[in-house]
């Protein structure tokens, strides 16, 4: 199960309900490339409980500027449209799945 690709028009709708982890990335970013397989593992482990998504900041800069993303990769965990937690830099699977579980249970 791979992360869902979001764009300027789908972003707000996607984070509106439930728990969503969004990876802000770019194709030229080395650490972002390292994050992708980890994100796919998180998506596999999480299943339907939460949405795992990514936004290419080069193609769709609006969501990144809306949430003050300055460096990539930045991962933001949302619950019902509100920011729950923000991570900068490559994050390990356990860190992300633990954060998702905590958001689901709060």
Q: Domain range for residue 53?
A: 4-104
Specify the DSSP element, H or E, that contains 103.
helix 93-104
To the query of whether residue 29 is one of the catalytic residues in this protein, the response is yes
Catalytic choice (4, 18, 29, 87):
29
Catalytic choice (32, 50, 69, 103):
32
pLDDT digits (tens, 9 = 90+) for 65-85: 999 999 999 999 999 999 999
Q: CATH code at 100?
A: 3.40.30.10
To the query of whether residue 32 is one of the catalytic residues in this protein, the response is yes
pTM for this predicted structure: 0.96
- SS3 for 79? strand
The total of structural domains in the chain comes to: 1
pLDDT digits (tens, 9 = 90+) for 3-48: 899 999 999 999 999 999 999 999 999 999 999 999 999 999 999 9
Going from the C-alpha of 13 to that of each of 1, 17, 18, 47, 81, the distances in angstroms are 21, 8, 11, 19, 9
């Amino acid at each position: 199960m791979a992360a869902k690709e979001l764009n300027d028009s789908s972003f707000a709708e996607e984070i509106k309900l439930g728990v969503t982890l969004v990876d802000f990335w770019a194709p030229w970013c080395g650490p972002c490339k390292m994050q992708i397989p980890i994100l796919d593992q998180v998506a596999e482990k999480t299943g339907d409980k939460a949405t795992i998504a990514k936004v290419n900041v080069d193609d769709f800069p609006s969501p990144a500027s809306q949430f003050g993303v300055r460096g990539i990769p930045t991962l933001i965990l949302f619950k019902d449209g509100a920011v729950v937690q923000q991570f900068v830099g490559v994050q390990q699977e356990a860190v992300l799945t633990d954060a998702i579980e905590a958001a689901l249970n709060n």
